[in-house]
Structure 1
Amino acid sequence: MIMRPGQQLLLPANPLFIWISLVAALLLNMLQNMGLWGRAAWTPDVLAVVLVFWTVHQPLRVSIGAAFVFGLLMDVHQGGLLGQHAMAYTALSFLAITVHRRLLWFSVPSQAAQVLPLFAVAHGLELMLRLMGGGTFPGWWMVLAPLLEAALWPVVSIVLLAPQRRAPDPDANRPL
């Protein structure tokens, strides 16, 4: 693959780090739901952001099946309609896989603008399933959630790519 000018060559991602970051995002989502705001509609879904990030950067390691399992775990945690998050995360993962090659060619702020519609579709699907299951409308504040998730994209990119940016022991024979 031809790299953009100025783009740093990354080390391979550690699979253990990928799965630890996904479990940490799941736990952060669970803490966020039990925290100060409760299940506020405007709070960003950190697990969705991390799932999209790893689906874009490592599509062979984190796929639609992983998104489905994490979605079921979120459904069980929230005690809502079983399959609501699973369906939203699965659709989000599928959409992320469809754009992952094109998305990596852009800068991180441009990537954030391009994943915003993916997050909006996922929240729309989740809302549709909730309403079809007899739930209540959470309010118009939920429009803020995809915007906050897109704003989290640069932060997540910096944090999760940091271990791959470590320079291996450079020497005269290995300048990269």
Structure 2
Amino acid sequence: MKAPSTLPRPSVEPEHLLLPVNPRFIWLTLFLAWLVNLLPWGQVGGVPDVLALVLVFWSVHEPRRVGMATAFVLGLLMDVHGSSRLGEHALSYTLLAYFAILLHRRLSWFSPWLQALQVLPVFFLAELAVFCIRGWLEGSWPGWWWAMNSVISALLWPLAGWILQAPQRRPVDPDDTRPI
């Protein structure tokens, strides 16, 4: 009888389990993102809304802790800070959280770049709603350059995921006695 030949195993990096997220870390990242949004470079075009990006990330990954009420309150804070019409950012962030919660189960199946492709319409629709209201109330349309913010936010999605999930990653320590 011949001995079975050993086939080389494919070199696929295994997926590691993530630790549960600390609720204090969620609120700390939202607070820090809000502070980043308070910096004066938010007035410049092409700068993504960091708070919206972090809010969508936590709405996707922790929808029971960060939801539409959190988004609405953070939106009101941004409206007060920016001296804009009360409710513009609140509407935008609430729409972001709503669509992110709708997609949260679906997005977990995809790689970060494919997730970015799927959250791009979410960012776009939230900004489109705000600019339609602004255009209706002011009687002018700012052009389509505002859409670049949603593209930049979608491109930053994998980086945000890598940074925000860093504390949850388990150290790699293979052990033959544990099944997981």
2:128 to 124, 138, 144: 124
Per-residue CA shift, 1:5-34, capped at 9, x if unaligned? Answer: 932210000000000001111111111xx1
Count of residue correspondences: 168
Aligned to 2:56: 52
Q: 1:11 aligns with which of 19, 24, 29?
A: 19
| CA–CA distance in structure 2, aligned partners of residues 24 and 135 of structure 1 | 35
User: Residues 33-44 of structure 1 correspond to what in structure 2 (within 5 A)?
Assistant: 34-35=40-41, 39-44=43-48
Unaligned runs of 5+ in 2: 1-12
1:74 aligned to which of 78, 92, 100: 78
Two-structure CA RMSD over aligned residues (Å): 2.0
Q: TM-score, normalised by structure 1?
A: 0.87
Q: Is the 8 A contact 1:41 1:139 kept in 2?
A: no
Q: 1:106 aligns with which of 105, 110, 122?
A: 110
> For 2:156 and 2:90, how far apart are their aligned partners in 1?
21
Gaps of 5+ in 1: none
Deviation readout 1:82-122 (Å, 9 max, x if unpaired) = 00000011011101111110111000100000000000001
- 1:23 correspondence with 2:27: no
TM-score normalised by the chain length of structure 2: 0.85
**Structure number, greater radius of gyration:** 2
- Once the two structures are overlaid, the 10-residue window that deviates more, 153-162 or 43-52, is 43-52
